[in-house]
């Protein structure tokens, strides 16, 4: 009897390993090995094959003005997403939580950009912001806000702000839906108790909503940060990083470095920077999620 | 009516209507880029490049839609995308559910550490792995083939699939498996005949997540393939957008064809969608 049981367990463990093997193999080859290889490459120069290069890639990328510019742009996009984007998401979530009708329509609209390819979003906005025949210029002229057409993607700051606006449009839906789920999870009794204590709407928001939402707010902020660090497709179609790298992101810059200039070593080093930032943020997020 | 609701009730009713109307108004403005892209896709080219700018097409035409299939091999791009995404979905469902079943119901050595490693890979940004992945795919000689896209798409969605599915199998009592075992069923038939049919709702979430994520991908497709024949829809759109004189009515038509199917699926299955795309942050 005991032997039979042992046999069964043994069989079970072999079966288990076999069942998990194909998935483990693919994840191992496509995700895990490349992580190690990435760090390896970051200490090498690529001349068709890797040649040891020490830390010189790490020194050189931080002396590269255009990489630093791309790093700055990425942080700038992140900052706009976390302030303006997050505020809008929160307002939208609160409105959806209060309204009785229009929710489905609204949620479908703000979530649509999330399921669209980023190059599609970029293409649409490139047309909207077209300096000669764009509808944004046309509408602003019609209501008299501007006298002549604006080149939205033509100058450094204008382009940077335009891309930031597109990022906000693109990412608000996802954050709003996450926050809405958080709002719906707050027990109604807490609000009623607060009301009995004489709290007005604003006080209820500060003393019930915010503390109850703490975990989910942090998760949403970190997810938004991670998303901002991956910005690529919209830049590729709208500005191709220009004018003179003023809209280039980390991902766009490392893509160009690797696949236009074939400096795999330096590009790998930039990827390590991206990797470490995102992983750190994810670990922090995981911590809050488990606490939640 | 008045008595029943009271002052508070009326106020709440009023507020909810107010918010509802505001949602409709803001939604229309927020969605304007999509609506406008749709209207543009129905215009003649002459209507695009003139003042005053029109919003609704003056005389609607399907010409731009016909043109994307004539001027660029958009049909080929579309089939490429569908093929690559469908194969990835099938692989993720099959391999992911087998692994999920193994992690949940078959105690094998080292499974907890392996599960932690797999879940850890969910945090890895694929954008950071482009260069080593390119070298790996080159060395296994699949660059510029469908496998150069299918393998990464499968690998990127598998961790969440295993996470969702093993969590789902955890809720199924062990007795079911033990009974089948006593009846002489082998592990694979237990997995295929008992576990898989039970997991249908979770499989739906995983399928949608994998399909949308793969469909949206641009950066992997543009780095791992280079021939015209291998282009996916996003790559094709990026190419016609980056032309020196882009034909926007054609680009908008292509954009509609690239996103409307996703939006429709989203409308039909909002719950699974949101659950998948928020990576489990929202319990639906």
pLDDT per position as a tens digit, A233-281: 999 999 999 899 999 999 999 999 999 999 999 999 999 999 999 999 8
CB A123 within 8 A of CB B239: no
How far is residue A127 CA from its own chain's centroid? 23
ipTM: 0.89
Rounded CA separation B207/B148 (Å): 20
For residue A232, give the nearest of B15, B127, B132 by CB distance.
Answer: B127
Residues 6+ apart with CB under 8 A from B5: B13
Which positions ≥6 away from A189 have C-beta within 8 Å? none
8 Å CB contact of A99 and B216: no
Closest alpha carbon within chain B to A266: B131
Residues of chain A contacting B40 with CB distance shorter than 8 Å: 127
* Three-class DSSP category at B210: helix
Q: What is the pLDDT of residue B246?
A: 86
**A280/A272 Cα distance (integer angstroms):** 12
Beta carbons of B135 and A37 less than 8 Å apart: yes
Inter-residue contact B266 to A112 (CB < 8 Å): yes
Q: Tell me, what's the pLDDT at B280?
A: 54
Write out chain A residues lying below 8 Å of B159, CB-based: 27, 31
In whole angstroms, what is the distance from residue A152 CA to residue A130 CA? 7
Higher pLDDT, A189 or A34: A34
Pairwise CA distance, residues A102 & A234, whole Å? 29
- Binary contact (A119, B135; C-beta < 8 A): no
What count of other Cβ atoms lies within 10 Å of the Cβ of residue B262? Answer: 21
Region A123-151: mean pLDDT is 90
Task: Supply the pLDDT for residue A5.
Answer: 63
Interchain CB contact of A136 with B (< 8 Å) = no
Q: State the DSSP code for B138.
A: H
CB under 8 Å to B258, separation ≥6 — which residues? A116, A117, A120, B233, B234, B237
Query: How far is it, in rounded angstroms, from Cα A28 to Cα A31?
Result: 6
Please indicate whether, in this complex, the C-beta atoms of B238 and A255 are within 8 angstroms of each other.
no
CA dihedral of A236, A238, A242, A246, whole degrees rounded to 10: -100
User: In chain A, which residue's Cα lies nearest the Cα of B225?
Assistant: A259
Contact A232 B219 (CB under 8 A): yes
Among the partner residues A31, A38, A251, nearest to B121 by beta-carbon distance: A31
Instruction: Output the DSSP codes for A87-156.
Output: HHHHHHHHHHHH-SSSHHHHHHHHHHHHHS-HHHHHHHHHHHT-TTT-HHHHHHHHTTS-SS---TTTSH
Mean pLDDT of all residues in A103-112: 88
Question: Does B102 sit within 8 Å of A19, measured CB to CB?
Answer: yes
Contact B132 A258 (CB under 8 A): no
Split at pLDDT 50, 70, 90, the class of A185 is confident
> A90 and A241 in contact (C-beta within 8 Å)?
no
Residue with tokens 């798409």: B153
At B276 the three-state DSSP class reads: helix
Q: Which residue carries 């089948």 as its tokens? A: B180
State the DSSP string of B72-83: S-HHHHHHHHHH
d(CA A127, CA B128): 30
The pTM of this model reads: 0.90
- Give the tens place of pLDDT for each residue, B185-223: 788 888 888 889 888 888 988 998 899 999 999 999 999
For residue B155, list chain A residues with Cβ-Cβ distance below 8 A.
Answer: 26-27, 29-31
Alpha-carbon gap, residue A205 to B46, rounded angstroms: 53
In this model, does residue A98 exceed pLDDT 70? yes
3 state SS of A45: strand
CA distance B109 to chain A (A): 7
CB contact under 8 A, A133 and B48: yes
Chain A contact set for B93 (CB, 8 A)? none
State the burial class of residue A145 (Cβ atoms within 10 Å of its Cβ: 0-12, 13-18, 19+): exposed
| Residue ranges in chain B modelled with pLDDT below 70 | 1-5, 275-284
Q: Which residue has the tokens 């606006």?
A: A165
Q: Distance between CA B30 and CA B39 in Å, rounded?
A: 16
Give the whole-angstrom CA distance, residue A124 versus residue B33. Answer: 7
| Cβ-Cβ contacts under 8 Å, A237 against chain B | 237-238, 241-242
Token digits of residue B118? 């797999």
Residues of A whose CB is below 8 A from B212:
115
Contact call for A123 and B98, based on CB within 8 A: no
φ, ψ of residue A52 to 5 degrees: the values are -55, 135
What confidence score (pLDDT) does residue B284 get?
A: 36
Q: CA angle A69-A171-B244, nearest 5°?
A: 60
The predicted pLDDT at position B283 comes to 44
Mutate to test the interface with B, among A84, A119, A242 (most CBs of B within 10 A): A119
Q: Check if A107 contacts B (Cβ < 8 Å).
A: yes
Q: Are strands A50-52 and A44-46 parallel, antiparallel or unpaired?
A: antiparallel
- Say which of A16, A251, A278 has its CB closest to residue B108: A16
- Calpha distance B216→B210 (Å, rounded): 10
For residue A210, give both structure tokens: 């915010």
Closest chain A CA to residue B52? A138
Question: Can you tell me the distance from the alpha carbon of A262 to that of A5, in angstroms, rounded to the nearest whole number?
Answer: 58
Name beta bridge partners: A46: A50
- CB contacts < 8 A, A to B, total 320
Distance separating alpha carbons of residues A205 and A183, to the nearest angstrom: 11
Task: With beta carbons under 8 A apart, name residues in chain B contacting A254.
Answer: 127, 130-131
Instruction: Flag whether residue A166 sits within 8 Å of chain B, measured between CB atoms.
Output: no
List chain A residues with CB under 8 Å of B139: none
The H-or-E segment that residue A255 falls in is helix A250-259
Nearest to B111 among A8, A16, A99 (CB): A16
The nearest alpha carbon in chain A to B265 belongs to A115
pLDDT value at A93 more than 50: yes
Considering only the beta carbons, identify the residue of B40, B246, B258 that sits closest to A120.
Answer: B258
The nearest alpha carbon in chain A to B284 belongs to A181
Rounded Cα–Cα distance for residues B189 and B172 (Å): 16
* Distance between CA atoms of residues B168 and B188, nearest Å: 18
| Residues 2-31 in A contacting B (C-alpha not used; CB under 8 Å) | 8-9, 11-20, 22-24, 26-27, 29-31
Question: A21 near A13, Cβ under 8 Å?
Answer: no
């Amino acid at each position: 009897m005991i032997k039979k049981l042992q046999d069964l367990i043994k069989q079970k463990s072999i079966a288990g390993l076999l069942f998990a093997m194909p998935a483990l193999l693919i994840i191992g080859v496509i995700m895990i090995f490349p992580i190690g290889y990435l760090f390896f490459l970051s200490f090498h120069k690529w001349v068709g094959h890797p040649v040891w290069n020490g830390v010189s890639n790490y020194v050189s990328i931080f002396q590269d003005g255009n990489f630093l510019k791309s790093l700055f742009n990425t942080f700038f996009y992140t900052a706009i997403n976390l302030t303006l984007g997050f505020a809008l998401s929160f307002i939208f979530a609160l409105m959806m939580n209060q309204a009785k009708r229009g929710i489905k329509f609204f949620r479908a609209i703000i979530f649509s950009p999330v399921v669209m390819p980023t190059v599609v979003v970029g293409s649409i906005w490139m047309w909207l912001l077209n300096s000669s025949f764009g509808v944004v210029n046309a509408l602003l002229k019609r209501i008299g806000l501007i006298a002549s057409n604006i080149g939205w993607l033509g100058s450094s700051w204008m382009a940077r702000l335009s891309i930031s606006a597109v990022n906000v449009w693109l990412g608000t839906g996802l954050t709003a839906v996450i926050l809405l789920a958080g709002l719906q999870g707050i027990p109604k009794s807490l609000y009623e108790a607060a009301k009995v204590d004489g709290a007005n709407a604003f006080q209820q928001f500060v003393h019930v909503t915010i503390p109850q939402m703490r975990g989910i707010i942090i998760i949403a902020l970190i997810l938004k940060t991670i998303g901002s660090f991956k910005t690529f497709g919209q830049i590729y179609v709208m500005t191709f990083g220009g004018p003179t790298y003023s809209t280039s992101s980390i991902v766009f810059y490392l893509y160009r470095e690797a696949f236009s200039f074939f400096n795999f070593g330096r590009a790998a080093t930039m990827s390590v920077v991206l990797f470490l930032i995102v992983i750190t943020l994810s670990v922090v997020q995981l911590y809050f999620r488990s606490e939640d | 009516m008045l008595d029943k609701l009271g002052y508070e009730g009326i106020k709440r009713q009023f507020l909810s209507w107010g918010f509802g109307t505001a949602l409709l108004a803001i939604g229309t403005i927020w969605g304007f880029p999509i609506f406008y892209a749709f209207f543009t896709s129905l215009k003649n080219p002459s209507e695009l490049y003139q003042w005053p700018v029109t919003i609704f097409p003056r005389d609607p035409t399907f010409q731009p839609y016909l043109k994307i299939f004539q001027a660029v091999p958009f049909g080929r791009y579309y089939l490429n995308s569908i093929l690559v995404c469908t194969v990835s979905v099938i692989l993720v469902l099959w391999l992911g559910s087998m692994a999920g079943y193994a992690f949940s119901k078959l105690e094998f050595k080292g499974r907890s550490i392996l599960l932690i490693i797999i879940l850890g890979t969910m945090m890895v940004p694929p954008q950071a792995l482009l260069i080593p992945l390119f070298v790996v795919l080159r060395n296994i000689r699949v660059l510029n083939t469908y496998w150069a896209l299918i393998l990464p798409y499968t690998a990127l969605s598998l961790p969440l699939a295993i996470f969702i599915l093993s969590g789902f199998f955890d809720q199924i009592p062990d007795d079911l498996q033990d009974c089948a075992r006593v009846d002489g069923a082998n592990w694979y038939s237990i997995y295929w005949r008992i576990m898989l049919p039970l997991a249908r709702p979770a499989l739906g979430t995983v399928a949608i997540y994998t399909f949308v994520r793969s469909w949206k991908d641009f950066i992997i497709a543009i780095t791992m393939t280079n021939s015209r024949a291998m282009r996916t829809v996003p790559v094709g759109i990026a190419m016609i957008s980056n032309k020196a004189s882009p034909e926007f009515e054609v680009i908008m038509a292509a954009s509609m064809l690239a996103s409307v199917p996703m939006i429709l699926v989203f409308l039909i299955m909002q719950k699974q969608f949101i659950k998948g795309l928020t990576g489990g942050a929202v319990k639906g």
